[in-house]
């Protein structure tokens, strides 16, 4: 078992409140990703679960046991950092074995465990090498194996792939997903990279300034953002969001890939005239920056058009509306009529 519950967690550093009041339950066996911009409190949250930081107030439960006063080594967790912190003078085998030796695990049991774990992470051929002779991805696997031999209830990972190049990051994402399926253990993963979050987690927790903005599956978070922050953090390019379009203080938003060029069926659409400013060729897709009277609109399409002056169409079903507090609200028929009249003004 490896369920985690954070109840009324507050964390301050002097007068600076990093996390005002956090309540979060992480299910046993889930792959939960804490994501958000720098300074949002995600790494602080992870460190409090690990026992490396103490909450100013509140409770942290692992399997229904309050562990706030429990030292890190007795919480049943293992942590993998951005810096792998491997011992350079030790072989891969010795690095993986180090914690087991300290726990006075018998050699026969150590050898069996190391054999099993090294096979899972693909390190069987490298056990007698030093870390300096390994690639970045291989060193990451050593750090994972060193955590795995502890057989923890929970794996905590703080931006573990950020030091790898793009190709290796993509490969390691796949390997971590497969590893989670093999182990069935609770994974809690921190990243600022929305691609990592959306591709790896089955449960995404998006944070900003110590507050959970939305918690849901990747699909739900993308297709049903509950506020402006979520709509613009998730998605590449981010959602186009404009205020000042409607007569009240509401904002409207729409995804770049939901925009049509020169639409034929204009009755159920919000129409905008614009001028193409730039085009970014991305192989199978083109990113357009289009100047409109409402501001710059980003469009993502497979089509490569040559026209400079263009008409954009967004179906009403693909338009999101947000209230004065930037929270999601309903796009009413009255608003649809207001949007329909704007094209002719």
Residue 333 falls inside a structural domain = yes
> What single string gives the DSSP state of each residue in 80-142?
E-SS----TTS-HHHHHHHHHHHTT--HHHHHHHHHHHHHHTT-GGGTTS-GGGS-HHHHHHH
CA distance 263 to 269: 9
Per-residue pLDDT, averaged over 275-298, amounts to 94
Q: pLDDT band for position 345 (50/70/90)?
A: low
Are 303 and 273 within one domain? yes
Of the candidates 163, 192, 223, which is a domain's last residue? 223
CATH number where 191 lies: 3.40.50.300
Alpha carbon 138 to chain centroid, angstroms = 23
Are 189 and 275 within one domain? no
Are 272 and 211 within one domain? no
Are 217 and 244 within one domain? no
Q: What pLDDT digit, counting tens, does each position of 5-58 carry?
A: 999 999 999 999 999 999 999 999 999 999 999 999 999 999 999 999 999 999
pLDDT (0 to 100) of residue 298: 97
Are 173 and 146 within one domain? yes
Residue 229 falls inside a structural domain = no
Are 166 and 34 within one domain? yes
Per-residue pLDDT, averaged over 317-343, amounts to 90
- Cross-strand partners of 57: 10
pLDDT (0 to 100) of residue 2: 85
Are 286 and 218 within one domain? no
- Strand order across the 269-281 sheet: 260-261, 309-315, 269-281, 286-292, 295-301
pLDDT (0 to 100) of residue 200: 94
- Looking at per-residue pLDDT, the higher value among 29 and 85 belongs to 29
Q: Would you say 322 and 227 are in contact if contact means Cβ atoms under 8 Å apart?
A: yes
Are 112 and 242 within one domain? no
Averaged confidence pLDDT in the chain: 92
Are 48 and 195 within one domain? yes
Are 198 and 62 within one domain? yes
Per-residue pLDDT, averaged over 106-120, amounts to 90
pLDDT at 82 over 80: no
Are 219 and 258 within one domain? no
Of the candidates 223, 249, 277, which is a domain's last residue? 223
pLDDT at 83 over 70: yes
Q: pLDDT band for position 303 (50/70/90)?
A: confident
Residue 232 falls inside a structural domain = no
- Looking at per-residue pLDDT, the higher value among 244 and 210 belongs to 210
Residue 233 falls inside a structural domain = no
Range of the structural domain that residue 136 is part of = 4-223
Q: Into how many domains does the chain fold? A: 2
Q: What pLDDT digit, counting tens, does each position of 237-271 carry?
A: 999 999 878 877 899 999 999 999 999 878 889 99
CB within 8 A of 201, min separation 6: which ones? 31, 32, 33, 35, 189, 218
Residue 192 falls inside a structural domain = yes
pLDDT (0 to 100) of residue 81: 82
Are 217 and 253 within one domain? no
Of the candidates 189, 223, 257, which is a domain's last residue? 223
pLDDT at 203 over 70: yes
- Looking at per-residue pLDDT, the higher value among 119 and 222 belongs to 222
Q: What pLDDT digit, counting tens, does each position of 132-162 carry?
A: 999 888 888 898 888 888 888 999 999 988 8
CATH number where 277 lies: 2.40.50.140
Q: What is the pTM of this model?
A: 0.90
Residue 15 falls inside a structural domain = yes
Residue 231 falls inside a structural domain = no
pLDDT (0 to 100) of residue 242: 92
- Looking at per-residue pLDDT, the higher value among 49 and 170 belongs to 49
CA distance 237 to 96: 41
Residue 9 falls inside a structural domain = yes
Helix and strand element counts for the chain (H, E): 9, 19
């Amino acid at each position: 078992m490896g369920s985690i519950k954070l109840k009324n967690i507050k964390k301050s550093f002097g007068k600076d409140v990093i996390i005002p009041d956090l309540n979060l339950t992480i299910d046993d066996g889930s792959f939960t990703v804490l994501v958000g911009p720098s300074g949002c409190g995600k790494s602080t949250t992870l460190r409090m679960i690990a026992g490396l930081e103490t909450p100013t107030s509140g409770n942290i439960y692992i399997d229904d046991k309050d562990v706030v006063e429990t030292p890190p080594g007795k919480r049943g967790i293992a942590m993998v950092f951005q810096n792998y912190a491997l011992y350079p003078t030790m072989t891969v085998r010795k690095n993986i074995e180090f914690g087991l030796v300290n726990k006075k695990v018998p050699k026969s049991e150590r050898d069996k465990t190391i054999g099993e774990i090294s096979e899972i992470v693909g390190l069987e051929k490298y056990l007698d090498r030093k870390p300096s002779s390994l690639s970045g991805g291989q060193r990451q696997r050593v750090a994972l194996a060193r955590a795995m031999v502890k057989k923890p209830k929970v794996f905590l990972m703080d931006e573990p792939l950020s030091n790898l190049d793009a190709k290796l990051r993509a490969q390691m994402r796949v390997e971590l997903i497969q590893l989670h399926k093999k182990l069935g253990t609770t994974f809690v993963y921190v990243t600022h990279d929305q691609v990592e979050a959306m591709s790896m987690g089955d449960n995404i927790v998006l944070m900003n300034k110590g507050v959970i903005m939305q918690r849901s599956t990747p699909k739900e978070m993308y297709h049903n953002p509950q506020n402006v922050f979520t709509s613009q953090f998730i998605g590449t390019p981010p959602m186009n969001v404009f205020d000042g379009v409607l007569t009240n203080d509401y904002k409207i938003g729409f995804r770049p890939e939901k925009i049509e060029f020169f639409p034929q069926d204009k009755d159920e659409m919000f129409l905008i005239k614009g001028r193409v400013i730039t085009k970014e060729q991305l192989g199978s897709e083109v990113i357009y920056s289009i100047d409109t009277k409402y501001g710059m609109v980003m469009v993502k399409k497979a089509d490569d058009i040559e026209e400079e002056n263009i008409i954009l169409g967004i179906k009403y079903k693909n338009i999101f509306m947000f209230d004065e507090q930037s929270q999601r609200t309903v796009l009413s028929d009255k608003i649809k009529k207001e949007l329909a009249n704007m094209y002719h003004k």
